[in-house]
Amino acid sequence: MAPKKEDSNNKVVAQNRRARFDFFLTETFEAGVALRGTEVKSLRDGKGNIQESYAEEKNGEIWLINAYIPEYQSKMPFGHEERRPRKLLLHKREITKMSDALNKKGFTLVPVKLYFNDRGIAKLELAIAEGKKKADKREAVKERDWQRDKARIMRDFG
């Protein structure tokens, strides 16, 4: 696999910031998304939401479920269904790695970020994730608060 490029040229459309709080993200993948024309136009306007979405494996393919892309506001007679399942474009070895992880107990596929790359192609950052327990979430909040307090102290006295 090629190393991931810097995100400087990428235009982020939607992020799932809650994913890092609710899950331990073990491995991330970049996937293309099979979209219709009105969906691409809507995403270019910066509209879209992946907060409640997830990915699952069906018949050897990975599908993005419950991602919200609103209908494009124009005078076009045809549009798209806002929450339809969308096929993710991945290599076969990535699909087998994801399906193996899904067969393990407690693992799921979580979309982290939806963006356009430097070539203008819609991409989805997808992560294999394991759910956090309530105590793990409390620990994350405690660590985040301590980092914030530490930065404040360093700024004031440093």
Give tens-digit pLDDT for 128-143: 988 888 888 898 889 8
Which helix (H) or strand (E) segment holds residue 72: the answer is: none
Task: Decide yes or no: CATH 2.40.280.10 for domain 10-131.
Answer: yes
Average of pLDDT values for 3-17? 71
Alpha helix (H) residue ranges in 6-108: 18-22, 37-44, 92-103
Which pTM was predicted? Answer: 0.77
Residue-range domain boundaries for the chain: 10-131
pLDDT of residue 112: 93
Give tens-digit pLDDT for 87-119: 999 999 999 999 988 888 888 899 999 999 999
Question: Do residues 103 and 84 lie in contact, with contact meaning Cβ atoms separated by under 8 Å?
Answer: no
Average of pLDDT values for 23-41? 89
Q: Mark 72-89 as b/e (b = at least 16 C-beta within 10 Å).
A: beeeeeebbeeeeebebe
